[in-house]
Each structure stands twice: as structure tokens, then as C-alpha cells.
Amino acid sequence: MPTENMQGVVSDGPQAGLRILRLKGPLSMHTVFDFQTLVRAETSPSLIIDFSGVPYVDSAGLGALVGAHVSAQKAQRKISFAGMNAQATALLDMTRLRGMFSIYPTVEEAQRAAA
């Protein structure tokens, strides 16, 4: 089995203080530390995490999402998720965690909500 990795590219959003983290790769027990490193490096007041390049999220990845959300709340920062596929949203629904997060179908919709 090839080693999984996660990559992330950060860019400025259309509003001041808004950053977008575009992920590529699965969010799994093999990549959770990569994800945490990427998210912790961002200190902007508002962060949109684009999951359109994430094909799969497992239970360890779900834990990392909760951790990212809790950390953002403690730091009084806003974190939103965009572009999650059906597998990821089904996992959030199954675990009844979907309501905890700000989730948008697209990055553009998340940007509009952040305005």
C-alpha cells in the first residue's frame, strides 16, 4: 500500500482576515498529523478549509476535524468547511456531528457567508 499524504495550499480570501486552505489527499489516520500541522499554522481570524480534493475521511480524520473546530473556538476564530463529498458528509451525519460545523457546498458559498 502506498504511503498516503496530505497536501495543502493556503491563499488569501476576498476579505481581509479570511484565508482558504485547499486540501489534497485523504484525511485518515495516516495523514491526520499533516492536517493538524496545516490547520495550526493558520492564525487568520477566519479560515475556510476546502475539502474538494479530499476523497476520503476516516474516524481519525473526523477526530481531527473536531479538534480543529474546538481549537478555533477557543482562539475565537471562525473555521468553515467547504466542498465535502458524500462520504464525508455521510460520516458527519452518521455521527451526528454535522450540526457542530459550518459546512458549505462550495468555497464561494463559504466566502459569501463570511462576508
How are beta strands 18-24 and 7-12 bridged, if at all? antiparallel
> 46: exposed, middle or buried (C-beta count within 10 Å: 0-12, 13-18, 19+)?
buried
CATH number at residue 76: 3.30.750.24
**Which residue in 27, 91, 23 sits closest to 60, CA to CA?**
27
Is 105 a member of any domain?
yes
Cβ–Cβ under 8 Å, residues 44 and 19: yes
Full pLDDT tens readout for the chain, 115 residues: 455 789 999 999 998 899 999 999 999 999 999 999 999 999 999 999 999 999 999 999 999 999 999 999 999 999 999 999 999 999 999 999 999 999 999 999 999 998 7
Is 2 a member of any domain?
no
Range of the domain at 101: 9-114
Q: In the numeric block, which cell numbers belong to residue 107?
A: 468555497
